[in-house]
């Protein structure tokens, strides 16, 4: 059976007797095992990073950018096999897996411009003969702890700005789909990144705690559930680290009476059910404003949802594939039952879905729940599956309060043709990322990604200029040069320069 090992220094490394199973979600069968590392394995990676990082930091930004350019070319060359590898371990369809890779590459593209982004500030004449300037320097060694749902994109979101700014980076990916992160390490090495600058260690909570506690790791970036994000943030900060920890979400799609209903239905189906709903920027809550809007939305959603095709990850006609494993399938189906027990109306039931020839696959059909209320736990918590809930709001103010008062504040969307309503909503809603007629408002790579409330812990968002700030520290220099020719060095007896200025004169070539 295939074994997925750590990538330390220049290649694969063992370490750790424990193993984790890696499934093929479409078949339900174990396809590989991943080595689960220990603190001793992390120590090896840290030692390699310590040896490599100073020289990488001393490499000028333009040369670091050239490595990223080459890495981008290699990823584009390997797009098809990488996407199929993601699909085989995660379960998302190949087209969705290519989107996973492409969104990560967009951050790498932004980081190729790091020479410009790293330019500091300068003030001439801040005082009599005094100039002040600032520079951004790398924090040293950083670590990323990434979830299963985007095994290419999120590692690239983290490592792109970390590497571009001169840091060494240690990645601890999800043990559920670990193969693509290792392949990223191999491609970085092929692109010319020095050994030890990008490494991959596998593990579970034991490895996470070792990262959070290690004194040589100065910054940690995390994406996962909110409870774990809060744990990572608290323990990391207590250990003196800089931490950004992105948590869960319950994103709302507010549907105004004047919205383009055909577009809303398409966007909700894609936002709620794409990638089997396993993404923190999914759109699992629809909030129609007014009963008439709610009835029109429901009537239009039912046939659209029933027309969705669920298939194996390699099915080119499938809208989405299986969820990641059997435990998660059971969790999603239990949330559906919880909603029903709490009084929600089950309009479309996706439980019990099987595909011929893939009866053991981890499939959950698209599910629609109506008349969900804010006191239901299925509304308050993140389901993270192909489930869309309708929460009816009588008016705009009520609809605005729903995402604003929810414990999560990752993303929100408003569907309307009314510019005033859109502007009012964007200004007032208590959520970190807002889409106006955009169902999944993930910012482009040169802006930053981050939610509010329990969706994000820490002061810095991911990628964009915020990512550069997270992975660097500002050093400010205040300088004054004394005046006085008498203090300048004199010429030497062997004909050296008689004035300091003469040392900088370009000699005439005869």
pLDDT at residue 482 tops 70: yes
**Strands, E assignment, 37-167:** 122-127, 130-138, 141-145
Domains of the chain: 2-247+457-474 (3.40.605.10), 252-450 (3.40.309.10)
Facing residues of 143 across strands?
A: 170, 220
Rg (CA), the chain: 26
Distance CA 236, CA 208 (A): 10
- Strands annotated E in 52-177: 122-127, 130-138, 141-145, 168-172
CB 97 within 8 A of CB 89: no
Instruction: Indicate if the alpha-carbon torsion angle 236, 237, 243, 247 is positive or negative.
Output: positive
The pLDDT of 326-337, averaged and rounded, is 97
Q: How many CA atoms lie within 13 A of 314 on its CB side?
A: 11
Q: Which helix (H) or strand (E) holds 413?
A: strand 411-415
Ordered alpha helix ranges (H), 191-249: 205-213, 226-238
- Tell me the angle at which helices 61-77 and 153-164 cross, rounded to the nearest 10 degrees: 160
Residue 450 has pLDDT above 80, yes or no: yes
Q: Can you tell me the distance from the alpha carbon of 227 to that of 224, in angstroms, rounded to the nearest whole number?
A: 9
Q: Give the whole-angstrom CA distance, residue 449 versus residue 435.
A: 13
DSSP single-letter state for residue 289: B
Residues marked as catalytic: 280
pLDDT band at 505 (very low <50, low <70, confident <90, very high): low
As given in the structure block, the two tokens for residue 439 are 């169902």
**What average pLDDT does range 81-91 have in this prediction?**
97
Beta strands 411-415 and 433-436 are: parallel
Per-chain mean pLDDT for the chain: 94
| CB neighbours of residue 299 within 10 Å | 11
Res 1: pLDDT: 87
Cα 186 to Cα 183: distance, rounded to the nearest angstrom? 5
Above 50 in pLDDT, residue 509? no
CB hemisphere CA count around 205 (13 angstroms): 4
**pLDDT band at 484, cuts 50/70/90?**
low
Distance CA 192, CA 50 (A): 18
| Environment class of 341 (CB within 10 Å of its CB; exposed 0-12, middle 13-18, buried 19+) | exposed
- pLDDT score of 305: 98
Cβ partners under 8 Å of residue 342, min gap 6: 376, 377, 378
Burial class (CB in 10 A: 0-12, 13-18, 19+), 212: buried
Ramachandran angles phi, psi of 260, nearest 5°: -75, 100
pLDDT of 352 above 50: yes
Q: What is the pLDDT of residues 168-202, one digit of tens each?
A: 999 999 999 999 999 999 999 999 999 999 999 99
Report whether 206 contacts 36 (CB < 8 A).
yes
pLDDT at 436 over 50: yes
pLDDT of 93 over the 90 cut: yes
Q: How far is it, in rounded angstroms, from Cα 489 to Cα 313?
A: 74
Q: What is the dihedral of CA 309, 312, 317, 318, to 10 degrees?
A: 40
Residue 375's nearest CA partner among 391, 399, 398 is 391
CA separation for the pair 285, 281 (Å, rounded):
11
Whether the per-residue pLDDT at 303 is higher than 80: the answer is yes
Separation of alpha carbons 82 and 207, rounded Å: 26
> What pTM, to 2 d.p., does this model score?
0.91
Beta carbons within 8 Å of 127's beta carbon, 6+ residues apart = 480
**Position 508 pLDDT exceeds 90:** no
Return the structure tokens found at 449.
Answer: 């990604």
CA distance linking residue 183 with residue 152, whole number of Å:
10
Residues in the chain, how many? 510
pLDDT tens across 51-67, in order? 999 999 999 999 999 99
DSSP 384: -
Over residues 202-261, the pLDDT tens digits come to: 999 999 999 999 999 999 999 999 999 999 999 999 999 999 999 999 999 999 999 999
Phi first, then psi: give them for residue 155, nearest 5 degrees: -55, -40
């Amino acid at each position: 059976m295939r074994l997925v090992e750590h990538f330390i220094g220049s290649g694969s490394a063992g370490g750790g007797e424990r193993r984790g199973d890696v499934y093929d979600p479409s078949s339900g069968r174990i396809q590989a095992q991943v080595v689960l590392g220990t603190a001793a394995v992390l120590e090896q990676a840290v030692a390699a990073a310590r040896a490599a990082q100073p020289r990488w930091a001393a490499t000028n930004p333009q040369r670091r950018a050239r490595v990223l350019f080459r890495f981008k070319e290699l990823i584009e060359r390997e797009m098809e096999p990488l996407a199929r590898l993601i699909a085989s371990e995660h379960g998302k369809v190949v087209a969705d897996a290519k989107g996973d890779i492409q969104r990560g590459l967009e951050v790498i593209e932004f980081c190729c411009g790091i020479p410009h982004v790293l330019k500091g500030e300068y003030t001439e004449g801040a005082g009599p003969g005094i100039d002040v300037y600032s520079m951004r320097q790398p924090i040293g060694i950083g670590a990323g702890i990434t979830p299963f749902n985007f095994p290419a994109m999120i590692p690239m979101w983290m490592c792109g700005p970390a590497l571009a700014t001169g840091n060494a980076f240690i990645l601890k990916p999800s043990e559920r789909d670990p193969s693509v992160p290792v392949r990223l390490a191999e491609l970085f090495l092929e692109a010319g990144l020095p050994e030890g600058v990008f490494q991959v260690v596998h593990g579970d909570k034991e490895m996470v705690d070792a990262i959070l506690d290690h004194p040589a790791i100065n910054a940690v970036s995390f994406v996962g559930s909110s409870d774990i994000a809060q744990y990572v943030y608290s323990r990391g900060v207590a250990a003196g680290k800089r931490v950004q920890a992105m948590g869960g979400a319950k994103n709302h799609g507010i549907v105004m009476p004047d919205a383009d209903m055909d577009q809303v239905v398409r966007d909700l189906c894609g936002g709620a059910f794409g990638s089997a709903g396993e993404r923190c920027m999914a759109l699992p809550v629809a909030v129609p404003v007014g009963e008439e809007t709610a009835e029109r939305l429901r009537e239009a959603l039912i046939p659209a949802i029933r027309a969705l095709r669920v298939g194996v990850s390699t099915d080119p006609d499938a809208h989405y594939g299986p969820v990641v494993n059997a435990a998660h399938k059971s969790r999603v189906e239990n949330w559906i039952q919880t909603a029903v027990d709490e009084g929600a109306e089950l309009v479309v039931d996706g439980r019990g879905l099987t595909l011929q020839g893939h009866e053991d696959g981890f499939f959950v059909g698209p599910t629609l729940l109506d008349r969900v209320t804010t006191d239901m736990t299925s509304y308050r918590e993140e389901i993270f599956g192909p489930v869309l809930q309708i929460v009816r709001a009588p008016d705009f103010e009520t609809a605005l309060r729903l995402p604003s008062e929810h414990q999560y504040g990752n993303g929100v969307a408003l569907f309307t043709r009314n510019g005033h309503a859109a502007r009012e909503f964007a200004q007032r809603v208590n959520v970190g990322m807002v889409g106006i007629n955009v169902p999944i408002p993930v910012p482009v790579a040169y802006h930053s990604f981050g939610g509010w409330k329990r969706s994000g812990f820490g002061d810095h968002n991911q990628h964009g200029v915020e990512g550069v700030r997270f992975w660097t520290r500002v050093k400010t220099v205040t300088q004054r040069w004394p005046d006085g020719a008498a203090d300048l060095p004199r010429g030497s007896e062997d004909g050296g320069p008689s004035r300091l200025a003469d040392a900088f004169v370009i000699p005439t070539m005869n």
